[in-house]
Amino acid sequence: MMSPPTETCAACAKPLPKREYLRCCNCKGVYDIECLNISSKRFYSLYSFNKERKDNWKCLSCVSKLPRTNNLNTPVRTAESEMSSPPTLVVSPENSNVAVRGKPPTKNTQDKNVPEEDSIIMENIMSESLDDTAMDFKLLLGEMKAIRAEMRLFRNSMTDLMTAIKMQSSRIDSIETRISALEDKSKGLQRCEVSTLEETVSQLKSQILERDQDLLANDIQIAGFPETSGENTTHIILAIAKKLCVDLDECDVVSSERTDLSHHAFLSCDLNVKKPKQSSTSITYRPIKDINVIKFNSDVDAVFWEELLCGDVNSSLTAFNAHILYLFDIHAPIKTTYIKCQSYPWITPTIKEMMKLRDKAHAKCKGHNSKGDKKYYKDLKSTVNAALLSEKIAYFRYFINKNSKNAQVLWRNIKKNVIDFNKKDIALPSNLNDPDVINHHFLHVPGSNSNEAFDKDK
């Protein structure tokens, strides 16, 4: 079967679309909306849903063939209608006594027809314009509603934005307050730290000066003078002062005594004792203090302790030891540290604090490289060295020199802090192997007695 022929537009002879076309009710011609210059929006608004209007539509050619007549109902009249006069009386000369009413002028048959087609066209045009206006008003109303909704959203957004700005401003104010408080606190800490350091340095300087004054006391030590039985040390000092042309009375001598270890002349010697190199000592331990008690208790609760109740005692004890070692290996693993040197007793806590201050000053001097920091570090370094020397001298005076007559305490302190005597293979020096040489050294002291020495001086 052959397909039916498709209809074409009467104006452009192109195939018609499926919906967007109009059919003339008079000539049955079909036209698409492009040739009729009608938009799709207008077509659907006027013709698509109004079947009566669509069925009564006429093309322009059929409308133009209709006769044009006057519309007497319009307020504006044409000149032809205005010139039409009422019926007049006609008097003929023959019948002068007879009045004959004249006939009104005849009108065209076209004037008698009511312009129905024009009124239909005007109604269509007016309805189309009204529909267009209504559609425009609807669109405008929709746009106004959309604008109103957008304005409402914009107002809400502006309100949220103002709220956020207020919150941010309050946060900034709080942050500025905290920053100012921290700055004040840091300034106070710096002032406090500097004042504390200065006070500590002044105290250490005063202690060093006091110890220097103790070192500079009026103590005179005389060596090389032989000792005799029943001697008077005060008279010996006065005699030596007289030989040196120094005016000295007996009341000027506060005290005098011999400080020798035995009844021999004072011996002075320099010993080049090499300090043995300390070997590092390893210490293995568990950091029990670093255990987190909460985590440790939770792990202890998680252990399946019921298995210890089953089996014999040895297996239960082995399992218990394994659990305990596992817990301690997790929370306090074994650590090993190496100690390279022992601490000396003259390095007191005060000296340690001074060393910390010195190390901080050294690090600051390296970082900033300023003259003030360098000078502060050098002064602090010299102060620490002087304090360390003073502490060492004080220690030797109190624990070594003061115990010169107590050999047991003296040698215990020497072995503990001065010389390491823990080695088993310690041997005496070669010059102390012969006792006769040692005895000869102590017996042949210059000068036999004090009187002989004074006689020689005279």
Question: Per the domain annotation, does 269 fall within a domain?
Answer: no
Range of the domain at 286: 279-340
Across 192-196, 381-385, 419-423, 429-433, least confident range = 419-423
Confidence of residue 74 (pLDDT cuts 50, 70, 90): very low
Of 190 and 313, more confident: 313
Cα 427–Cα 430–Cα 434 angle in degrees, nearest 5: 105
Question: Per the domain annotation, does 345 fall within a domain?
Answer: no
DSSP notation for 276-342: PPPPPEEEEE--GGG--HHHHHHHHHHS-GGGGGSS-HHHHHHHHHHHHHHHHHHHS--EEEEE-SP
Nearest by Cα to 200 from 385, 404, 355: 355
Overall number of domains in the chain: 1
* Per-residue model confidence (pLDDT) at position 158: 92
Nearest by Cα to 426 from 272, 276, 270: 276
Are 202 and 429 within 8 A, CB to CB? Answer: no
For 148, the token pair is 């109103």
- pLDDT per residue as tens digits for the range 391-406: 888 888 888 888 888 8
Question: Per the domain annotation, does 294 fall within a domain?
Answer: yes
Question: Per the domain annotation, does 110 fall within a domain?
Answer: no
Question: Per the domain annotation, does 7 fall within a domain?
Answer: no
Question: Taking 80 as the threshold, does the pLDDT of residue 105 lie above it?
Answer: no
Question: Taking 60 as the threshold, does the pLDDT of residue 207 lie above it?
Answer: yes
Question: Per the domain annotation, does 287 fall within a domain?
Answer: yes
Sign of CA dihedral 355, 357, 362, 366: positive
User: What is the distance between the alpha carbons of residues 202 and 179, in angstroms, rounded to a whole number?
Assistant: 34
Tell the residue number behind the tokens 């022992």, with chain if given. Answer: 342
- pLDDT per residue as tens digits for the range 270-327: 444 455 566 677 888 888 888 888 998 898 888 888 777 777 788 888 888 888 888 8
Of 376 and 417, more confident: 376
Across 169-173, 189-193, 409-413, least confident range = 189-193
User: What is the distance between the alpha carbons of residues 137 and 143, in angstroms, rounded to a whole number?
Assistant: 10
The number of C-alpha atoms within 13 Å of 215 and in the hemisphere containing its C-beta is 15
Three-state DSSP state, 370: coil
Question: Per the domain annotation, does 314 fall within a domain?
Answer: yes
- Residue 331, Cα to own-chain centre: how many angstroms? 31
Across 241-245, 391-395, 444-448, least confident range = 444-448
Are 290 and 332 within 8 A, CB to CB? Answer: yes
Across 2-6, 113-117, 129-133, 203-207, least confident range = 113-117
Question: Per the domain annotation, does 193 fall within a domain?
Answer: no
User: What count of other Cβ atoms lies within 10 Å of the Cβ of residue 43?
Assistant: 17
